[in-house]
Structure 1
């Protein structure tokens, strides 16, 4: 076992292997030829069900670029419920609170298996209670692309929301009343699904540039609305004003500067949380002060990164998903704001992926344990609250991976003896920064040596663990049930943990 990755994975499943053991030469490629027939244009999603004779026991995929504003998955769910299709496999790139109709389909066993990278809201609660008849598989963003392209995840029908489509079947996320920016998570679906259906609310004569190549598109459905683009800002995209968060962010930027990482040509990625965005601000200040220009910023792009690009602090932005409307507008107008697919972002079997070119990444944690394993999949009770997304992809690929978090949240210690669910293995985590001290993974002897005589408040993770208990007391250990409801799949396709039905109902 590696750095505390310890769950009893069933013997018939692929066991966890170290991230250094990728067998890239064994990658199985599925060649998908471009369409030979003209794209069909339809006036309703129901017509698409009729045209392709969509039945029970098939796999449907979706993307989440409209996030909490997406209507397409909901509309497809309504048709499935009406036709009472059964035993469907859903493979949305993420699941958001607005997807309430999917709850009914799970309870009624219309949908019995789910692959996704992130899950939150009523669907997460329903699955946590053990209502999904089959299993939930939690991918990473790069791992989902790998699974689709290798054939591990076979998609029969991809329903892809697309803000603008032209009469050649080409699609763009940059323009239209529902513009959401890049469409990077859906490129693997576009290229490898058996049947591709674009759903749009803006049909135009011709697009000069586009995200989706119409040669891969079987049908276009034109509807009144595919969603509300304002829903893409459902995450926290404003810099924190909390003194603890600001202290952590400032110390993080100072640490990066001390280590000499903020230098000409460096690259970075952070999350879109409030404290992470404060790190971006402090790093930007250091760059301006020292006249430093980085090579690129990447990931889900926010206004903070757009401002850095416009100031000339980066040459380029590589964007797999726009996190706010400022990013959407930047993608539309700035030639150095570039789209990337999930495969280009983090597929471990692709060459020259962005995740492996990053100088540093700043990530969060719901929990971290004494072996530096990180959980962003479940809370301390075992309830589903998120998922890896790109967490594991960039933690592995980056030269330096930093976790930032308050030492306690709502009087619950962030550091556990063992996390409830392993999302990212501790081998891929280098530093934990809290308001009460900084812990360096002892595996990074180079960092320990560089920082040993510094002014930073260094502690071992065990010392931070004990300190948190002095503040909150020792929390009661929460037991999970023995019923497995899903699995955490690492980016290479191996399984690193099980997800259990919650024992305490909520």
Structure 2
């Protein structure tokens, strides 16, 4: 069964996420739940006259509609644009990342981009905005979880289209119902490798975060330094595989724990799909991308090997004590093609 919150819904189950007091923007993930679940229950606090169109979820995929007083607390969504960092370390990472993108060869008129909602990722987009204005470069589309920052850049004429699978703040959530060039897309259209073509495969540049990166460029975004599951990975591995330039931005050290390690706790995004790792102490390029390494050296960027980054981190922190696991498997990591690439064991 799928129980789905619907900010606006009629009595037959036509629903969208961009009207009503609890508007949240794109229902990109819920659309697929509604399509595939055996039974679908829409829960709404805003029952409107039939037909509620355009509908993100259509009535032929809905079994029940339940009216309640409130489907959630709208304060849980960022009220303005997602935060702009003032952290000097995050700004340095973002500056390095923007300079690397500029030197990569993919920063050309009509490029496409996805950026995360973390402080450094958002700051990269800010630095790129300045470069886009300076060089009169406009992006063809922005993809993914969308922030108000991309909405503002679109209003400035810097981004032609926005493809939104998940609205990260209220500015983006409102825009999707007002702007015909701000499209709501399903998670399948976003990143499904088994359909006839997902938009992730059209990405030029993706900027992603990481909890850990290892010396084989494998990335962990699920389990923390204590081995405990933190949250979902979204389209991390999908966009890394699809984009021409997949870039990880992260501090070298986070909370006295090294981010660049010999082996990650959990492999979520395989190293062969990661091109560049940008930290505050240097930029590492995957040996598979010798073309990027040459371009970065020519641009005089602070390039080093991934092993050197690990050594720099351990010189400061020492080697953290290894996490002790039991035998019980509490999670299985399924890659985007359906193969199992790792397991998560219970921490002792």
Q: TM-score range by the shorter chain?
A: over 0.9
In structure 2, the partner of 1:176 is 20
* Deviation (angstroms), 1:239: 1.6
Question: Is residue 479 of structure 1 aligned with residue 324 of structure 2?
Answer: yes
- Distance change (3 Å), C-alpha of 1:236 and 1:482: farther
How is 1:484-499 mapped onto 2 (pairs within 5 angstroms)? 484-499=329-344
From the two aligned structures, give the one with the greater strand fraction.
Answer: 2
SS, match of residue 269 in structure 2: coil
Distance in 2, Cα, partners of 1:372 & 1:234: 36
* Deviation (angstroms), 1:451: 2.6
* Deviation (angstroms), 1:235: 12
Q: Structure 2: which 5+ runs fail to align?
A: none
* Deviation (angstroms), 1:458: 0.8
Question: Is residue 194 of structure 1 aligned with residue 38 of structure 2?
Answer: yes
Greater CA drift, 179-188 or 339-348 = 179-188
How is 1:105-254 mapped onto 2 (pairs within 5 angstroms)? 157-205=1-49, 206-233=51-78, 237-254=82-99
SS, match of residue 401 in structure 1: strand
Contact 2:11 2:65 in 1 (8 A): no
Contact 2:100 2:296 in 1 (8 A): no
SS, match of residue 161 in structure 1: strand
Distance in 2, Cα, partners of 1:235 & 1:444: 38
**Number of residues paired by the alignment?**
347
Which TM-score applies when normalising by structure 1? Answer: 0.67
Distance in 2, Cα, partners of 1:247 & 1:451: 16
Distance in 1, Cα, partners of 2:215 & 2:98: 24
Distance in 1, Cα, partners of 2:136 & 2:79: 34
* Deviation (angstroms), 1:492: 1.1
Which of 466, 474, 481 matches 2:311? Answer: 466
Distance in 1, Cα, partners of 2:121 & 2:233: 16
Distance in 1, Cα, partners of 2:79 & 2:173: 14
Distance in 2, Cα, partners of 1:235 & 1:480: 41
In structure 1, the partner of 2:183 is 338
How is 1:280-299 mapped onto 2 (pairs within 5 angstroms)? 280-299=125-144
SS, match of residue 181 in structure 1: coil
Which of 361, 375, 383 matches 2:206? Answer: 361
Distance in 1, Cα, partners of 2:118 & 2:295: 29
Which TM-score applies when normalising by structure 2? Answer: 0.96
How is 1:278-427 mapped onto 2 (pairs within 5 angstroms)? 278-427=123-272
- Give per-residue Cα distances to partners, 1:93-118, cap 9 Å, x unaligned: xxxxxxxxxxxxxxxxxxxxxxxxxx
In structure 2, the partner of 1:275 is 120
In structure 2, the partner of 1:264 is 109
SS, match of residue 486 in structure 1: strand
- Distance change (3 Å), C-alpha of 1:235 and 1:176: closer
Which of 246, 261, 276 matches 1:431? Answer: 276
Contact 1:236 1:273 in 2 (8 A): no
* Deviation (angstroms), 1:270: 0.9
Distance in 1, Cα, partners of 2:324 & 2:13: 52
Higher RCO (C-alpha 8 Å, min separation 6)? 1
Distance in 1, Cα, partners of 2:106 & 2:27: 31
* Deviation (angstroms), 1:406: 1.0
SS, match of residue 402 in structure 1: strand
Distance in 2, Cα, partners of 1:234 & 1:450: 40
Distance in 2, Cα, partners of 1:474 & 1:202: 54
Distance in 1, Cα, partners of 2:224 & 2:16: 37
Q: CA RMSD in A?
A: 1.5
* Deviation (angstroms), 1:244: 0.8
Contact 1:230 1:325 in 2 (8 A): no
* Deviation (angstroms), 1:191: 1.5
Distance in 2, Cα, partners of 1:427 & 1:293: 29
In structure 2, the partner of 1:62 is none
Distance in 2, Cα, partners of 1:435 & 1:234: 30
* Deviation (angstroms), 1:207: 2.0
Larger radius of gyration: 1
* Deviation (angstroms), 1:352: 2.4
- Distance change (3 Å), C-alpha of 1:454 and 1:293: closer
Contact 1:236 1:272 in 2 (8 A): no
